[in-house]
Amino acid sequence: MWTRRDWMLAMAVLASRRAFAGDDGFVIVLHPDNPATGVDRDFLRDAFLKKATEWSDGATIRPIDLATKFPVRDMFTHDVLRKSSAQLKNYWNQQIFSGKGIPPIEADSVAGMLEYIVANRGAVGYLPAGASPGRVKAVKVT
């Protein structure tokens, strides 16, 4: 049986993992030349819902999602976009039907996401915690 101290220790470990991973299991990644050192959660949400279109330096925001087969996509969708997968699909169906926009492109692999981010200066994506960011820039969610 767990004591109060055991629970407190477990919560502290989880909190430290969340802070390191960006937000419960993922890391935000940007093009290496992007001057940002952190990304505000609301800005990130707007970028992936395509409500924000430019970085502070004027570069076009180019969000990229991992394919739905990746569990980290659900974590990102829930934690940052504050939507379920079904709600997000509904949102994009409405945007497409009304001619207001299309969803971010999808990468079928972590390597594909990294290649896209390196090739596009305004790109932003996310990786599962523990994945090597390679040549891209990992930043914290602020």
The total of structural domains in the chain comes to 1
pLDDT score of 16 more than 60: no
What is the pLDDT, as a whole number, of residue 129? 92
In this structure, the number of other CB atoms found within 10 A of the CB of residue 31 comes to: 22
Cα dihedral sign for 92, 65, 84, 18? negative
By CB atoms closer than 10 A (0-12, 13-18, 19+), residue 53 is exposed
pLDDT in tens, 46-67: 999 999 999 999 999 999 999 9
What is the pLDDT, as a whole number, of residue 24? 56
pLDDT in tens, 85-138: 999 999 999 999 999 999 999 999 999 999 999 999 999 999 999 999 999 999
In this structure, the number of other CB atoms found within 10 A of the CB of residue 29 comes to: 27
Q: Domain range spanning residue 31?
A: 4-141
Instruction: Report the CATH number at residue 90.
Output: 3.40.190.10
pLDDT score of 6 more than 50: no
pTM of the model: 0.82
What is the pLDDT confidence band of residue 142, given thresholds at 50, 70 and 90?
confident
pLDDT score of 20 more than 70: no
Alpha carbons 89 and 95: distance in angstroms, whole number: 10
HEC letters along the chain: CCCHHHHHHHHHHHHHHHHHHCCCCEEEEECCCCCCCEECHHHHHHHHCCCCCECCCCCECEEEEECCCCHHHHHHHHHCCCCCHHHHHHHHHHHHHCCCCCCCEEECCHHHHHHHHHHCCCEEEEEECCCCCCCCEEEEEC
